Amino acid sequence: MKKLTLLINIVAYGTMAFLYLPLMAVAFFSVNNTKYGLAWKGFTLDWYLALFQNEVILTAAWNTLILAVISTLVSTVLGTALAIGLDRFPWPRKMNTTFDLVLHLPVIIPDIILAAALVVVFSFLRTFSGLFEPGLFTMIIGHITFQIAFVALVVRSRLVSIGKEVEEAARDLYATTPYLLRRVTLPLLMPGIIAGAMLAFTLSLDDFVISFFTAGPDSITLPLYIFAAVRRVVTPQIHALSTLVLFATIALVIVMERLSQKINKKNVLMEIDN
Q: What is the CATH number of the domain that holds 62?
A: 1.10.3720.10
Task: Give the pLDDT score at 270.
Answer: 55
The pLDDT of 130-150, averaged and rounded, is 90
On whether the CB atoms of residues 67 and 204 are closer than 8 A, the answer is: yes
Q: Which of 31-35, 68-72, 160-164, 260-264 has the lowest mean pLDDT?
A: 260-264
Please indicate, yes or no, if residue 18 is contained in any of the structural domains.
no
On whether the CB atoms of residues 241 and 226 are closer than 8 A, the answer is: yes
Please indicate, yes or no, if residue 236 is contained in any of the structural domains.
yes
Please indicate, yes or no, if residue 14 is contained in any of the structural domains.
no
Task: Give the pLDDT score at 150.
Answer: 93
Give the type of residue at 8: I
- Phi first, then psi: give them for residue 246, nearest 5 degrees: -60, -50
On whether the CB atoms of residues 196 and 154 are closer than 8 A, the answer is: yes
On whether the CB atoms of residues 199 and 150 are closer than 8 A, the answer is: yes
Give the type of residue at 57: I
- Contact residues for 87 (Cβ-Cβ < 8 A; gap 6+): 156, 159, 160
Tell which wins on pLDDT, 271 or 2: 2
Residue 114, by phi and psi: left (phi above 0), alpha (psi -120 to 50) or beta? Answer: alpha
Half-sphere exposure in the Cβ direction for 102 (13 Å, CA): 10
Number of structural domains, the chain?
Answer: 1
Per DSSP, 181 falls in state I
Q: pLDDT per residue over 225-274, tens digit each?
A: 888 887 777 778 888 888 888 888 788 778 877 777 776 666 655 554 55
Please indicate, yes or no, if residue 54 is contained in any of the structural domains.
yes
Task: Give the pLDDT score at 271.
Answer: 53
* Closest listed residue to residue 30, CA positions, set 238, 225, 224, 206: 238
Q: pLDDT per residue over 65-122, tens digit each?
A: 899 999 999 999 999 999 988 887 777 888 888 888 888 888 888 889 999 999 999 9
Please indicate, yes or no, if residue 165 is contained in any of the structural domains.
yes
Range of the domain at 68: 48-273
Task: Give the pLDDT score at 79.
Answer: 93
Task: Give the pLDDT score at 1.
Answer: 67
Tell which wins on pLDDT, 211 or 33: 211
Please indicate, yes or no, if residue 9 is contained in any of the structural domains.
no
Neighbour tally for 46: CB within 10 Å: 13
Task: Look over the chain and give the mean of its residue pLDDT values, rounded to a whole number.
Answer: 83
Q: What span, in angstroms and rounded, lies between the C-alpha atoms of 252 and 260?
A: 12
Q: What span, in angstroms and rounded, lies between the C-alpha atoms of 242 and 238?
A: 6
Task: Give the pLDDT score at 184.
Answer: 79
On whether the CB atoms of residues 77 and 152 are closer than 8 A, the answer is: no
Q: What span, in angstroms and rounded, lies between the C-alpha atoms of 139 and 68?
A: 10
Please indicate, yes or no, if residue 98 is contained in any of the structural domains.
yes
Please indicate, yes or no, if residue 21 is contained in any of the structural domains.
no
Q: pLDDT per residue over 193-212, tens digit each?
A: 988 998 899 899 888 999 99
